[in-house]
Amino acid sequence: MKVLVTGAAGRLGAEIVRCLQGTPAECLGVDREDFDVRDGDAVHRAVAAFAPDVIVHCAAYTDTQRAETEPEKCAEVNGLGTLNIVRAALKNRAKLVYISDAAVFSGEGAEPWEAEDRPNARTVYGMSKGQGEEVIRSLMSRYFIIRTSWLYGGAEDDFVQQLARRTAEKGELTVAAGETAAPTWVVPLAQLVCGMLTTERYGVYHAACQGWCTRADVARMTAEMVRGRAVIKADRSHPVNSRLSCVSLERAGFAPLPHWEDALTRYLAENL
């Protein structure tokens, strides 16, 4: 089986490539220096040359704040870029795995979002990820859409490491606590993706670590682990509900991801 991974220099893409290297699959990781997903001809040439059985599409415009000031660019990368990947997948008869985000939902209420709920994003980034999903749903049948939240781990600096550094300083630290979600370690998520892509159990899935918390909870736990001395204050303004119900995953026979506290404990023990 040949698997092409886009966004392979990014947080999740790099981990998926690492994970696939331990399997019989032949894997090719590509990123911006190989082609820009907005360039349909370049996408077509690169995909045709490798002739993958599966494309895992991780490349995305992910700067959620900057997206609000450059909506066209965000839509081009996440919407048009995904259309180009879909066309290439169809031409090569490849399955597609698309990594999406809890941000496709409005953030209202307190109930966890089900995989069947209708996307209704309020942010530029969330709308663009929803456009990517829509293109896939309307044109393909052999796809996995996997929505997740608050990724950490992988090669680069992440929000957990940033919190660890900040909590190691003395004094008081105010952390945004309006949004509730599940911090998700890329290692178990990549393992799930690598298993899922070998199956024919297509559909829309939510795959985040179990349980929910705020970033202030993550900061508190991180501070404990690094023996940080900062007093954590939670800023509860701007409530956003990014809770994902992952029952569709288990219903389809896939193992759930670990609880966020267990995953974070292991990550901190291994990485700090």
Ligand X SMILES: NC(=O)c1ccc[n+]([C@@H]2O[C@H](COP(=O)([O-])OP(=O)(O)OC[C@H]3O[C@@H](n4cnc5c(N)ncnc54)[C@H](OP(=O)(O)O)[C@@H]3O)[C@@H](O)[C@H]2O)c1
Using the minimum distance from each CB to ligand X, give the nearer residue, 57 or 220.
Answer: 57
Which tokens sit at 233?
């204050």
**From CA 249, how far away is CA 58, in angstroms rounded?**
19
Using the minimum distance from each CB to ligand X, give the nearer residue, 151 or 230.
Answer: 151
Q: What are phi and psi of 57, to 5 degrees?
A: -100, 95
| CB proximity list for 118: less than 8 A, separation 6 or greater | none
**From CA 16, how far away is CA 190, in angstroms rounded?**
5
Using the minimum distance from each CB to ligand X, give the nearer residue, 80 or 216.
Answer: 80
Give whole-number Cα distances, 25 to 5, 16, 74, 84, 227, in Å: 12, 12, 32, 24, 42
Residues in the site for ligand X, rule: CB under 6 A?
Answer: 7, 9-13, 31-32, 36-38, 58-62, 77, 81, 99, 101, 129, 148-151
Shortest Å distance, C-beta 170 to ligand X: 29
**Cα angle for residues 168, 169, 172 (degrees, 5° grid):** 110
The answer to whether 145 and 186 have CB atoms below 8 angstroms apart is no
Using the minimum distance from each CB to ligand X, give the nearer residue, 38 or 165.
Answer: 38
CB atoms within 10 A of CB 266: 14
Shortest Å distance, C-beta 87 to ligand X: 15
Closest CA to 61 of 28, 30, 96, 37: 37
Shortest Å distance, C-beta 94 to ligand X: 18
Residues annotated catalytic, as ranges: 125
Shortest Å distance, C-beta 22 to ligand X: 19
